[in-house]
A = this chain, B = another copy of it.
Amino acid sequence: MEARHLRYALALAEHQHFGRAAASLGIAQPPLSSQIAAVEREVGERLFDRTPRGVFPTAAGTAFLERARRALDEMGAAVVDAGRAARGETGLLRLGFIGSALLDPLPGVLGRFRRARPDVRLDLGEMSSPDGTAALIAGGLDVAVGRGGPRGPGAEGLVTVPIGSDELIAVVAATHPFAGRRAIGLGQLAAENLIVSPPDQEPAVAARLRSLFDSAPSPLDCATTSRDIHTTVGLAACGVGVGLGPARMRRLERGGIWFCEVTPRVRLPDLRLSFRAADRSPVLAAFLDVVRANCREVGSRLDHVLARHPAVRGIEQPG
């Protein structure tokens, strides 16, 4: 059974006449008769009643034609869908990210991406940087956003670009003695109960912080740990201690809390976006294109890396 047979049967049902159906198909009448006969032989049933007043489908023919129409529709859709998938207009993007990325670059990027590719399904999940890297390598994610360059086996198959940088800031309750001050010195922090993310969750950030306090014992040894940035702010707000986090934490501004700079200024590990170098998914390419247009402020490095990468070659934005 071939698609040709379905097309011929549908044409015959439409014209109710072998000669005209054949003409509409651009063939002569005898081959149409022969092909219809072949279908009927294969199905094992007569599909058309040849009457003097025209050719009409039998009960079997009616059932056959219904399925035939759907089969040809699916075949047409296969070609269309393949093209759309190749242009990145449909598909799936699985994105893992750390909480602070959701505060700043992701809302804009995801919004623009959804407008550019409304039919791409997004699968989003918050996770630590090492978890994101591992999932990316294992193939469970397409894009991971975290802090610190990927480490470990398989990391060499990833491409990583910076998409945002942060200084370290502190957050305290409005009732805390630091409240109202623009900046706090590192030395003053050492005497406070600090609230930071757990070392195993964000090792790059933890390493950076550890390097700040060279005294032993370090004030980090007995620091309170919080697995997400909202919790850090919440704990600070209720007076548990001094929360430390990236400057984009200021987006969580609300009553009862106070943000202050840390002096001297401490630059945290950049927010970085990673993907598999071998990934040729057009959806990924489209996403990287949006990232490139949206994160220019980070500097030329991102643009430079992405522009050179094959994943973003030849991307055009649809309507």
Q: Which residues of A contact B (CB under 8 A)?
A: 1-4, 6, 42-47, 49, 58-64, 66-68, 70-72, 74-75, 77-79, 81-86, 88, 90-91, 280-283
Give the distance in Å from the alpha carbon of A202 to the alpha carbon of B88 in the complex: 69
Query: Which of chain B's residues have a CB closer than 8 A to the CB of A75?
Result: 1, 6, 67-68, 71
Query: Which of chain B's residues have a CB closer than 8 A to the CB of A282?
Result: 59-60
Can you give 29 contacting A-B residue pairs, CB < 8 Å? A1-B78, A1-B79, A2-B2, A2-B4, A3-B3, A6-B78, A42-B79, A43-B78, A43-B79, A45-B86, A49-B280, A58-B86, A58-B280, A59-B86, A59-B88, A59-B281, A62-B85, A63-B82, A63-B90, A63-B91, A67-B78, A67-B82, A68-B74, A68-B75, A71-B71, A71-B72, A71-B74, A71-B75, A71-B78
Query: Which of chain B's residues have a CB closer than 8 A to the CB of A47?
Result: 82
Give the distance in Å from the alpha carbon of A283 to the alpha carbon of B58 in the complex: 11
Q: Which of B61, B82, B283 contacts A61 (CB 8 A)?
A: B82
**A274 to B: closest C-beta gap in Å:** 20
Give the distance in Å from the alpha carbon of A85 to the alpha carbon of B64 in the complex: 9
Taking a contact as CB atoms under 8 Å apart, the answer to whether B283 and A59 are in contact is yes
**A50 to B: closest C-beta gap in Å:** 13
Query: Which of chain B's residues have a CB closer than 8 A to the CB of A43?
Result: 78-79, 82-83
Main secondary structure, interface of A, reads helix
Query: Which of chain B's residues have a CB closer than 8 A to the CB of A2?
Result: 2-4
Known: A3-B3, A42-B79. A84 touches B71 (CB 8 A): no
Query: Which of chain B's residues have a CB closer than 8 A to the CB of A283?
Result: 59
Taking a contact as CB atoms under 8 Å apart, the answer to whether A85 and B60 are in contact is yes
Known: A6-B75, A281-B59. A82 touches B70 (CB 8 A): no
Give the distance in Å from the alpha carbon of A261 to the alpha carbon of B83 in the complex: 79
Query: Which of chain B's residues have a CB closer than 8 A to the CB of A70?
Result: 74
